[in-house]
């Protein structure tokens, strides 16, 4: 997993002080699982209300996630009207309402075919799979063991990719096994991948994700902001896992939720409340309160229940 070198340029502040010291954000960019969403995959009514107030106050927010396009439909109610989701760690831009991938940053066929062949050979104990614009496809072994949603099995994953990559963009390669040491697994996969991909770790046990070279959440967010004339200092980003580090490093203000990975906590400007306490919403509510001259952003207890945004499997 990436080292927390990005943390060297961050000076931790109490999150309320960080809010008070900064201009109202033009954009809020937030990860989903472990950050905006609760542990059961729901979005609280409080969070939805705060996001609506933020948009009404002139802000824009965007969801930036490792999830593939096929897992986004349950989140349609969270996406702002006319908005998109930056999915697959930056590989896919998805219009969730229209159920359409509107832009891709995928692997080139000459890159991904030999890479898949080498990964399948190097890790016989692992499930090797690809996420495309439409589905997950994996080498015909271990799928049911390592994934609740095993996708489609093929005898030769590299050959399948060679035949389909031009019309069905591959945005992520997945390598998953019953590994207990995430760092060792990340390093071992990295030795095989080299410069042919961008490694990411989003917290799933035993899973290493590989994106196309240079494709990260940061790149996708920067492009989305550029289209709107928004510069990095005007952006507040929220995350919890190492795959969020590029995005947090790019944004002018980086918030880790209290439950975040140690590398993310080290890289943050400030630490927001736990995701179970609607930490993203509390920070945004405080910014709204400061702008309107009222003290807000704290609620004694997050509302019970929420809107279920877990993917159906």
Clarify whether residues 94 and 133 are in a common domain: no
Residue predicted with more confidence, 118 or 11: 118
> Is residue 313 one of the residues assigned to a domain?
no
Q: Pick the last residue of a domain from 181, 211, 241.
A: 211
Last residue of a domain, one of 151, 178, 211: 211
Domain closes at, from 183, 211, 239: 211
Residue 298 has pLDDT above 80, yes or no: no
Same domain, 195 and 133: yes
CATH code of residue 234: 3.40.50.1000
Range of the domain at 40: 5-104+216-308
pLDDT of residue 306: 56
Q: Is it the case that residue 125 has pLDDT exceeding 90?
A: no
CA–CA gap between residue 64 and residue 85 (Å, rounded): 6
- Looking at the fold, whether 99 and 156 belong to one and the same domain comes out as no
- Cα separation, 186 vs 195, in Å, equals 14
Domain containing residue 131: CATH number = 3.30.1240.10
Domain-embedded: residue 263: yes
Cα–Cα distance for residue pair 62/77, rounded to 1 Å: 13
* Same-domain check for residues 202 and 248: no
Query: Average of pLDDT values for 81-91?
Result: 97
Mark whether 243 and 207 lie in a shared domain. no
pTM for the full model? 0.90
Span of 8-17, 27-36, 53-62 with lowest mean pLDDT: 8-17
Confidence of residue 4 (pLDDT cuts 50, 70, 90): very low
In a domain? residue 10: yes
Mean pLDDT along residues 201-205: 82
Q: From CA 108, how far away is CA 213, in angstroms rounded?
A: 10
Dihedral sign of CA atoms 103, 108, 111, 114 in order? positive
Same domain, residue pair 17 and 60: yes
Higher pLDDT, 125 or 89: 89
* C-alpha atoms less than 13 angstroms from C-alpha of 139 in its C-beta half-sphere: 24
Task: Say if residue 231 is in the same domain as residue 92.
Answer: yes
Give the pLDDT confidence score for residue 60 in this predicted structure.
98
Q: Are residues 220 and 100 in the same domain?
A: yes
Would 169 be classed as within a structural domain? yes
The predicted structure's pLDDT at residue 293: 72
């Amino acid at each position: 997993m990436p080292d927390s070198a990005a943390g060297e340029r961050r000076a931790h502040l109490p999150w309320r002080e960080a809010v008070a010291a900064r201009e109202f954000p033009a954009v809020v960019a937030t990860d989903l699982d472990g950050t905006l969403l609760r542990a059961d995959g729901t979005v609280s009514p409080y969070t939805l209300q705060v996001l609506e107030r933020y948009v009404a106050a002139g802000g824009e927010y965007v969801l930036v996630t490792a999830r593939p396009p096929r897992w986004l439909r349950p989140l349609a109610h969270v996406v702002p009207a006319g908005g998109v989701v930056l999915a697959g760690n930056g590989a896919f831009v998805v219009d969730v309402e229209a159920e359409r991938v509107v832009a891709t940053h995928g692997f080139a066929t000459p890159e991904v075919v030999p890479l898949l062949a080498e990964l399948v050979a190097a890790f016989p104990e692992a499930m090797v799979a690809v996420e495309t614009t439409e589905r997950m496809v994996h080498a015909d072994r271990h799928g049911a063991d390592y994934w609740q949603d095993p996708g489609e099995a093929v005898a030769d994953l590299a050959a399948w990719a060679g035949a389909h990559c031009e019309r069905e963009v591959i945005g992520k390669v997945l390598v998953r096994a019953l590994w207990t040491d995430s760092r060792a697994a990340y390093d071992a996969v990295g030795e095989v991948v080299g410069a042919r991909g961008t490694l990411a770790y989003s917290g799933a046990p035993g899973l290493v994700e590989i994106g196309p070279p240079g494709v990260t959440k940061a790149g996708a967010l920067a492009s989305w902001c550029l289209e709107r004339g928004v510069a990095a200092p005007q952006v507040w980003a929220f995350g919890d896992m190492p795959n969020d580090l590029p995005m947090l490093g790019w944004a002018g203000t980086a918030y880790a939720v209290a439950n975040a990975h140690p590398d993310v906590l080290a890289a943050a400007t400030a630490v927001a409340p736990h995701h179970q306490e609607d930490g993203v919403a509390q920070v945004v509510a405080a910014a709204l309160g400061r702008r309107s001259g009222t003290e807000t952003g704290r609620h004694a207890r997050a509302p019970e229940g929420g809107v279920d945004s877990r993917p159906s499997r």
